[in-house]
Chain A
Amino acid sequence: MKLMLTCKQASQLISQSLDEPLSWSDRMKLKFHLFICNACTRFNQQLRLIKNAVLRIKSETENNASVQLSLEAKAKINQAIKSNQ
């Protein structure tokens, strides 16, 4: 990879950085690219926004007391438990 990243390469590294630490040289190249590129800076913000927002959707579902097993589902699970006991 050359010293200057294309936007395509930068966007791939940005996504990868959400999953694992980048190598020192990739980190430096990305830092430099983001310094000069508004589009990729916005892309970076978009991915971080999405990452946080999906975690909020998760915790809202987890904490929503009105989300419950239906009576049918409970009956079905009870049935399965009985036949396995």
Chain B
Amino acid sequence: MSASLINKNVNDWLNDHGDYLYRFALARLRDPHQAEDAVQETMLAAIKSDNFEGDSSARTWLTGILKHKIIDLQRKQIREQPLSDLIDLDASDTSLDDFFDKSGHWLDKPQTLDMPENALEQKQFLSILSGCMDKLPAKLAAIFMMRDVHEVDNENICKELDITATNAWVMLYRARMGLRKCLEMNWIVG
């Protein structure tokens, strides 16, 4: 496809796919400004790219670019934290013991948590969970979003973040421990 034809389409792309791409990004980054940045970066990369295949839809192609831009932003979010924070996250980190006594038993036994059946309560449940995600430390939130929301596999998380598999699973473990504790504290078990 010639460069001029691509340029001609760019304005249509923002009109036709901008909101879709924004929702896609917001669902994975949870921050409106970051999601806007991701869409903008995607558009700019699309202009410069010459590998648009006419046989894939523009939306599919743009979404492919956006996925990488989202990971770039998440990586930045995690890297911007002081390195010492990452080093603290090895398996001997004592804060993992907060939930357990010395012999490895639960200090507070996990409670039953179920997805409520009625729609209104489901909405409340999901909104409490959203609030809990926003309360996680930024670095843990970013790796959790990358893994459980953006569904990047562990191998690629380690590659993207340049961390060991142990670091990755300790961070994910801490994020999930934090979320379940927050849910237990904020969701009234019926």
Contacts and interface: CB of A to CB of B under 8 A. Distances in A.
Interface of A: 6-9, 11-12, 15-16, 18-20, 38-40, 42-43, 45-47, 49-65, 67-70, 73-74, 76-78, 80-81, 84-85
Interface of B: 7, 10-11, 14, 18-19, 22-24, 26-28, 36, 39-40, 43-44, 47-48, 96-97, 99-100, 103-106, 109-115, 125-126, 129-130, 133, 147-149, 153-154, 168-169, 172-173, 176-177, 179-180, 183
A77 B27 contact: no
A7 B99 CA distance: 10
Q: Which 4 A-B pairs have the closest CB atoms?
A: A6-B104, A61-B27, A8-B104, A39-B109
A46 B48 CA distance: 45
A42 B109 contact: yes
B41 to A, nearest CB: 9
Contacts of A15: 169, 172-173, 176-177
B180 A43 contact: yes
Contact of B169 (A9, A19, A53, A81): A19
